[in-house]
């Protein structure tokens, strides 16, 4: 069973976007390669746009290390949960 089974039923457009995004961008990147840098940037930009336009809000966190950034986490919030008390 796919992790998108319910999403495909409830929001087929979102499921299609995720499947397409995964097939294009979900992999490891070598940032010593300028082409890989550009593809990574494009993938992050596309996902950021999708999250920002299809959710009610998000929590964004960055993890730092002695080398700089070691991780970025986004937790999207459904439209129905934003502004609810």
Has residue 79 got a pLDDT over 60?
Answer: yes
pLDDT in tens, 23-46: 999 999 999 999 999 999 999 999
Has residue 85 got a pLDDT over 60?
Answer: no
CA 3 distance to own-chain centroid: 15
Domain coordinates of the chain in residue numbers?
1-54, 56-85
Q: Which residue has the higher pLDDT, 81 or 30?
A: 30
Per-residue pLDDT at 8: 95
Beta bridge pairs of residue 68: 65
- Which stretch of DSSP H or E encloses residue 45? helix 34-54
DSSP state of 80: G
CA 13 distance to own-chain centroid: 15
Give the whole-angstrom CA distance, residue 75 versus residue 65.
21
Query: What is the pTM assigned to this prediction?
Result: 0.85
pLDDT in tens, 44-71: 999 999 999 999 999 999 999 999 999 9
């Amino acid at each position: 069973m796919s992790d998108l089974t319910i999403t495909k039923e409830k929001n087929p457009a979102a499921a299609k976007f995720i499947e397409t995004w995964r097939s294009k961008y979900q992999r490891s990147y070598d940032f010593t390669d300028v082409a890989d840098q550009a593809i990574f940037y494009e993938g992050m930009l596309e996902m950021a746009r999708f999250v920002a336009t299809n959710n009610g809000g998000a929590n964004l966190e960055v993890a730092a290390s002695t080398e700089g950034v070691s991780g970025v986490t986004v937790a999207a919030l459904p439209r129905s949960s934003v502004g609810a008390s």
